[in-house]
Amino acid sequence: MNVVIIGGNDCMTHQYKAICKEYACEAKIFTHPKKSLERLIGRPDLIVLFTRPVAHEMIEIAKREAVRKHIKLCQSHSASASALRNILEQAGLQAG
């Protein structure tokens, strides 16, 4: 499964990738606004949106792309490791 994480904390990037790897997922992580974010998102199976530590513009792009490309979007106000684990488990994934 491919996951795109939008938002979150820079210092947690490696931990987010490690957690996704535990759940047999490959992750792209965007913690700061990027030019052409719409194109960089691609067609993942899931978009994880951490709404607290993220630019408003990135929230709008993530929501728009999820609707336009029919991608499941999960939001969390918290950007913690446990929040990411909960989202992946709610998506039906099991840690291996």
Give the C-alpha separation, 20 to 26, whole Å.
6
Beta-carbon-side half-sphere exposure of residue 37 (alpha carbons within 13 Å): 22
Query: If you classify domain 2-90 with CATH, what class do you get?
Result: alpha beta
Give the C-alpha separation, 17 to 25, whole Å.
9
- β partners of residue 50: 76
What pLDDT shows up at residue 95?
87
- For the chain, give the mean pLDDT: 95
Cα end-to-end span (Å), the chain = 14
What are the φ and ψ backbone dihedral angles of 67, each rounded to 5 degrees? Answer: -70, -45
Closest CA to 72 of 36, 32, 30, 41: 41
Task: Give pLDDT tens digits for 56-92.
Answer: 999 999 999 999 999 999 999 999 999 999 999 999 8
Q: For residue 53, is pLDDT > 90?
A: no
* Domain extents in the chain: 2-90
Task: Give pLDDT tens digits for 2-43.
Answer: 999 999 999 999 999 999 999 999 999 999 998 999 999 999
Q: For residue 96, is pLDDT > 90?
A: no
